[in-house]
Amino acid sequence: MKQSDDIKLFLKAIPNSYGQVFFSDQRLFAGILLVVTFFDLYAGVFGLLSVIITNLVGFLLGFDKKTISKGVFGFNSLLVGLGLGVYFEPSLYLVLVILMGAILTLLIAVSLQGVIGKYALPYLSIPFLLSIWVMTLATKEFTALGISERGIYTFNDLYTIGGDPLVRIYEWWNDLQLPKSLRVYFISLGAILFQYNLLSGIILSIGLLLFSRISFSLSLIGFYTAYLFYEIIGADISELSYSYIGFNYILTSIAIGGFFIIPSKRSYLWVVLLIPIVAMITISLSRVFAIFSLPIYSLPFNLVVLLFLYALKFRLRPSVKLSEVLIQHNSPEKNLYAFHNDLVRFRQHEQKPVILPFLGTWTISQGHDGEHTHKDEFRHAWDFVITNMEEKQFMGSGDLLTDYFCYDKMVLAPADGTVEFVADRIPDNVVGEVNLKENWGNTVIIKHDEHLYTSLSHLKEGSIKVKEGDTIKEGVEIGRCGNSGRSPYPHLHFQIQETPYIGSVTKEYPISYHILHHENSFDLKSFEVPGLGDQISNIERNELLYNAFHFIPGKRFHFDVILNGEQSECTWEVNTDPYNNAYIRCQQSGAMAYFVNDGNLLFFTHYSGHKKDLLYYFFMSTFQVQQGFYQDLTITDSYPLNLIFNQPLLGVQDLVAPFWKFLRSDFKCTYDWIDSDMAPTKIRLASSAKNSMAGKTVRTFEFTVVINEKGIRKLTVNSKNLKLEATCTG
């Protein structure tokens, strides 16, 4: 990595260390937090010094620089620096203590990342707690350190920093006539950064509202739940007013309600249920720690959040209504919108894809819960045949095996795996007769994963091309369709099961991507269970589409763009990040569009950058594309709301998003035209985006994508006050 890149990462780590206190990576909010820490000038200085030391030592020790740049190590040191800076008078001795505290905090954070990180748990502010307790107890013996009196002579300090105007501003804000509970809320919010004044809390609340409407609402819900609980049980409410440990309730509610858990009705309910537990832990531990003259700081928040997150990992199955965040976007709103979008688009993608075990279009003659043999524990199975336009399975009289269209056709491996069982040398039956003794006939059973096997039966005698123990790839020929076993006419019996034995109980499991054929149209099916009478096939790859959307790292595109009559140029390049996520980046604007391509479908998953960039319109126009051409096939999908709508409308949606979505943005793509079915040289896709509010359309975009032998050639966009045409020139 270049030295200039290291400097950029180091500088990026400083504001991110501030933002991480509230689980944020937003620069504006980080700037607000940084400014607020300087309301106590020396606390702000020592907090910043602690962040710089921690990040610098992390770089020097060779820890991952991109991890450091996210601020995940620095924010704990920030809190240590602020805490010590508030408590002690500034001096060279304090600088030395800050140095030791920052290094200790870093070492604890890195170690905890290894210890509890393997359980996919955050270490939260535990490094801060351990470090500041060590520093606090140790410094009781340091007579050279002077205890700060700045809290006693606040006005003198303010006058020194900003003169009489700053003193008047401070007085005006702190003399605001607010309800007692709201005043305590604001000061508790400021206390997170060791700023025990009303102005700090008000500014932080505004920053929190700008950063995340969900976090802001959760902070109020968490605090007032605790406040009400104190009132109900008769606890000393002055404890909240005196120590301002109300920040434990604020941080717990944000963490559980919207950051580590997808915001939902259920997550909000758990906030209300857990806050009284935080209150009881706060009250009890305050008494224990008073023996050692130590504040409990954020210990209750850490205990409850970690206990809850750890307990969730022992659920028998994950719940959609209370789901952990798997891909962290550092924003409750982004987590929520991405989750809802991915839930629809990729809800089955944790399952291993299983394709149809044949080429071409076959018909299901008996499906699940079939009329003849697919019953009870064997009900999740399919029988496949080939039919003609008249829906007949055979030509001529149908008395001969060779009369049947499916007889002797290739049978393919439905997924990568290992051959577990092979039964061969069972003769094919004469049409109309069955072999009840060797019921399953010639069969191949393949292991694809733990507790995931496929069984293909009634194969043609002597046609099986694999043997037990063979490792095979998806789509390779394993045999031919026959008429062995309990089979009165040629067909392929296909079932999915959890054990490797012939005649095992069947398992309900979907077929991944496949095409459902109608008389004059087609439907794309994704991870669904096809039914009786369905005529289905795997997606048959169209080479023009495949090549056009085969975005390999290093591939470049150059476009001539005409936007509302103004000409410009742009260049894109395909790349991957350190986590092997693929994306397209515009070299001029820096915009990035992330995508996944599994060989059948291309999905765009995320976009960052300006919403008037050509790459953004390409992201919208090809949000989902399957790579086979079927005339008039239509694909539908939904965009994440945060990638489509803007503030302030999106802000209103954010507030109620866990409970109700009144905004919607729908994607539709139609396979519009191809110049030749046999030897195509040009394809046109027509897509659209429809934005609606409370069911009423507020804006639509119409897109056309033209593809030829060289790949993507042209993109046109039409909408209100927008006309764009982009031609790919290389």
Query: For the chain, give me the number of helices (H) and strands (E)?
Result: 19, 24
What value does the mean pLDDT take over residues 526-545? 95
**Same domain, yes or no: 532 and 549:** no
Asked if the structure places residue 29 within a domain, the reply is yes
Q: Residue 379's domain is classified under what CATH number?
A: 2.70.70.10
User: What pTM did the predictor assign?
Assistant: 0.84
Q: For residue 160, is it within any domain?
A: no
Pair 567, 528 in one domain: no
C-alpha distance from residue 628 to each of 115, 216, 444, 539 (Å) = 47, 46, 29, 6
pLDDT for 316 beyond 80: yes
Number of domains within the chain:
4
Rounded percentage of the chain residues whose pLDDT exceeds 70: 95
Q: Give yes or no: residues 316 and 449 share one domain.
A: no
The residue type found at 218 is L
Residues 6+ apart with CB under 8 A from 333: 212, 213, 214, 263, 642, 654, 657
Mention every residue, 6+ apart, whose C-beta is less than 8 A from residue 624.
345, 601, 602, 603, 604, 635, 637, 667, 669
Whether 115 is in a domain gets the answer yes
For residue 201, is it within any domain? yes
Q: What pLDDT was estimated at residue 238?
A: 58
Based on the domain organization, do 532 and 555 belong to the same domain? no
Residue 24 DSSP SS3: coil
**pLDDT, position 169:** 74
> How confident is the model at residue 327, as a pLDDT?
84
Can you tell me the mean pLDDT for 484-491? 95
Residue type, 547: N
Query: What was the pLDDT predicted at 244?
Result: 61
The stretch 126-134 carries a mean pLDDT of 96
Q: How confident is the model at residue 180 (pLDDT cuts 50, 70, 90)?
A: confident
332 lies in some domain? no
- Provide the phi-psi class of 527: left if phi over 0, else alpha when psi is between -120 and 50, else beta: left
Average pLDDT over residues 152-172: 67
Q: Can you give the CATH number for the domain in which 268 is found?
A: 1.10.3430.10
Q: Which of 150-154, 186-190, 383-387, 590-594 has the lowest mean pLDDT?
A: 150-154
Q: Give me the pLDDT at residue 403, please.
A: 96
User: 548-580 burial by CB neighbour count: b if 16+ within 10 A, else e?
Assistant: bbebeeeeebebebebeeeeeebebebeeeeee
Range from 228-242, 459-473, 475-489, 645-659 carrying the lowest mean pLDDT = 228-242
Backbone angles phi, psi at 137, to 5 degrees: -70, -40
Whole-angstrom Cα distance, residue 715 to residue 618?
Answer: 7
Q: Are residues 391 and 529 in the same domain?
A: yes
Q: What is the pLDDT of residue 154?
A: 60
527 and 653 share one domain = no
- Better-scored residue on pLDDT, 296 or 168: 296
Say whether both 271 and 393 belong to one domain: no
Mean pLDDT of 401-429: 96
pLDDT, position 161: 62
Contact 322, 261 (CB under 8 A): yes
Domain span at residue 53? 1-148
pLDDT at 3 > cutoff 90: no
- Do 284 and 306 reside in the same domain of the chain? yes
pLDDT in tens, 712-724: 999 999 999 999 9
Last residue of a domain, one of 148, 172, 197: 148
SS3 assignment, position 673: strand
Alpha-carbon gap, residue 151 to 21, rounded angstroms? 23
The answer to whether the CB of 642 falls within 8 A of the CB of 335 is: no
- Tell whether 681 is covered by a domain: yes
Per-residue pLDDT at 237 exceeds 70: no
pLDDT higher than threshold 70 for residue 348: no
Residue at 32 is within a domain: yes
As a residue count, the chain comes to 730
pLDDT of 4 reads 77
93, 122, 148 — which closes off a domain?
Answer: 148
Which one-letter DSSP state was computed for residue 678?
S
Q: What is d(CA 645, CA 691) in angstroms, rounded to the nearest whole number?
A: 8
Shared domain for 428 and 554, answered yes or no, is no
Closest CA to 472 of 420, 417, 423: 417
In the predicted structure, residue 372 carries a pLDDT above the cut 90: no
Measure the CA–CA gap between 726 and 730, rounded to whole angstroms: 12
User: Residue 143 above 90 pLDDT?
Assistant: no
- Contact criterion met (CB below 8 Å) for 269 and 319: no
**Mean pLDDT throughout 458-469?**
96
Q: What is the arithmetic mean of pLDDT over 127-133?
A: 96
Do 611 and 487 belong together in one domain?
no
The answer to whether residues 452 and 566 belong to one domain is: no
Q: Which residues pair with 714 in a beta bridge?
A: 706, 727
Residue 348 lies in a domain: no
Whole-angstrom distance, CA of residue 331 vs CA of residue 325: 11
pLDDT digits (tens, 9 = 90+) for 685-702: 999 999 999 999 999 999
Say what the pLDDT of residue 349 is: 65
Residue 641, pLDDT score: 94
d(CA 124, CA 306): 8
- What number is the average pLDDT over the span 108-137? 94
pLDDT at 342: 82
pLDDT tens-digit map of 47-59: 999 999 999 999 9
**For range 29-35, the mean pLDDT:** 96
pLDDT(133) > 90: yes
pLDDT at 340: 87
Examine the domain organization and report whether 290 and 423 are in the same domain. Answer: no
Percent of the chain with pLDDT over 90: 79
β-bridge mates for residue 383, sequence order:
366, 493
Q: Are 80 and 86 in contact (CB under 8 A)?
A: no
Q: Which backbone phi and psi does 360 adopt, to 5 degrees?
A: 80, -165
Radius of gyration of the chain (CA): 32
Bigger pLDDT: 499 or 598? 499
Convert 175-244 into a string of H (helix), E (strand) and C (coil): CCCCCHHHHHHHHHHHHCCCCCCHHHHHHHHHHHHHHCHHHHHHHHHHHHHHHHHHHHHCCCCHHHHHHC
Mean pLDDT of the region 648-654: 95
Express each pLDDT in 213-232 by its tens digit.
999 999 999 999 999 999 89
